[in-house]
Amino acid sequence: MKLKKLRKISRRNALQLIAGFTGTAILPSISFAQSNQALNRINEITKGLGATESDIYLDLPEIAENGNQVKVSFEMDSPMTESDYIKTVYIFADGNPSPNVAKFSFTPVMGSCSATTRIRLSKTQNVYLLAENNNGQFLMTNAQVKVTIGGCGG
């Protein structure tokens, strides 16, 4: 079926098609490498084990008018006892010049695992949260933020 259809296409169209295909084949590989720097970091930290997608409360504006000051809050559901607590929370941004944004180290005496800060986002992108508990298990979530004016300078 496909062969028959292809034969009907003129030489010019066929060339355009091929050009189009190769174009789309090359482009994703480039954007893949760039847009997943956050996921690459997550892979590095979890040593390839990956993290479980979880519905962690990650509060970010849907649209940030000013990328210089984007408020981010998160809260994890954890008993925060000596035997079961969230040890570390990382925040990554996949569209910033560097994926690392912040690393929070929690202790069970805090009683709750939540924090707020303000971050810079250079463009519209996904923000990832990766959490590690004291047993070495990883949880993650992400949220997209549309940035009107970028905030990384340059």
Partner 1 sequence: MSSIKPRVKVPKEVSIDEIVEIKTLIRHPMHSGRMKDVDGQTIPRQIINSFSAKFNGKEVFQMDLEPSISTNPFIVFQYKAKESGKFDFEWIDDNGETYSISKEMVVS
For partner 1, the binding residues (CB under 8 A) are 68-70, 73, 80, 93, 96-98, 100-107, 109-112, 114-121, 151-154
Q: Is 43 exposed, middle or buried (0-12, 13-18, 19+ CB in 10 A)?
A: middle
Q: How far is the CB of 25 from partner 1 (least distance, A)?
A: 32
136: left (phi over 0), alpha (psi -120 to 50) or beta: left
Please list the residues that pair with 126 across neighbouring strands.
144
Q: How far is the CB of 1 from partner 1 (least distance, A)?
A: 51
Which one, of 56, 71, 24, lies nearest residue 140 by Cα?
56
Report the residue number, 7 or 118, with the smaller CB distance to partner 1: 118
Report the residue number, 61 or 151, with the smaller CB distance to partner 1: 151
Report the residue number, 51 or 89, with the smaller CB distance to partner 1: 89
Q: How far is the CB of 115 from partner 1 (least distance, A)?
A: 5
Q: How far is the CB of 58 from partner 1 (least distance, A)?
A: 15
Report the residue number, 25 or 109, with the smaller CB distance to partner 1: 109
Report the residue number, 28 or 82, with the smaller CB distance to partner 1: 82
Q: How are beta strands 63-66 and 138-149 bridged, if at all? A: parallel
Q: How far is the CB of 44 from partner 1 (least distance, A)?
A: 15
Taking the CA atoms of residue 32, residue 37, residue 39 and residue 43 in that order, the dihedral angle to the nearest 10 degrees is 120
Q: What is the DSSP letter of 96?
A: S
Task: Confirm if 76 and 129 have CB atoms less than 8 A apart.
Answer: no
